[in-house]
Amino acid sequence: MEEKLLFIEQTNGYEVISEESGEIVYWLRFYPDKELLMHKWIGYLTDEALKAIWLYTLDFVEKYDAFRYKSIADTSTLEGSFDGINDFILEVVLPRALAGGLKYSAYILPKDFYALLATQFYQEETKEMPFVTQYFDNQEEAEKWLMSL
């Protein structure tokens, strides 16, 4: 069964709610004054849901020309492996983000074992790409690093 998602746009971003659980499973905010883009993945998501969120995110961020912002991807509360979409991220997401100006990314590591394993694949595959990513355990350290650039 395909997970139904509700995308709710707000002034400085949007959030995604699972229609089944009623819970927020993802949110994105951008802060033009800091040139900062933050997004957070929450709980377990199917590969189809992850792809749907990524496609919406790509269109949304391009609309606001926010790929040039410094980015924080918070996966600290993501659960389960996302190995099934790593190729999608490498072949679809990152080329569009790079074309939009992505240069600096902070990545808050997941605490879930399987999500952490999928992150290790991502780390290995992106280390030669033309953007700088640092990995952190919390948002404060990630934001401090990005704001120092």
Over range 82-100, report the average pLDDT.
Answer: 92
| CB neighbour class for 46 (10 Å; exposed up to 12, middle 13-18, buried from 19) | middle
Strands (DSSP E) contained in the chain are: 5-10, 13-18, 24-31, 36-44, 70-79, 104-108, 132-136
CA 82 to chain centroid: 12
CA 12 to each of CA 8, 22, 62, 141: distance values in angstroms, whole numbers, following the listed order:
11, 22, 14, 23
The model's pLDDT over 59-89, given as tens digits with 9 standing for 90+, comes to 999 999 999 999 999 999 999 888 789 889 9
Kindly report the CATH class assigned to 5-147. alpha beta
| Triad 114, 84, 122: Cα angle to 5° | 65
Structure tokens at 97: 């983000």
The model's pLDDT over 125-137, given as tens digits with 9 standing for 90+, comes to 778 889 999 999 9
Is 19 strand, coil or helix?
Answer: coil
The model's pLDDT over 17-74, given as tens digits with 9 standing for 90+, comes to 999 999 999 999 999 999 999 999 999 999 999 999 999 999 999 999 999 999 999 9
Is the confidence at residue 97, as pLDDT, over 70? yes
- pTM score: 0.91
Task: Give the residue extent of every domain in the chain.
Answer: 5-147
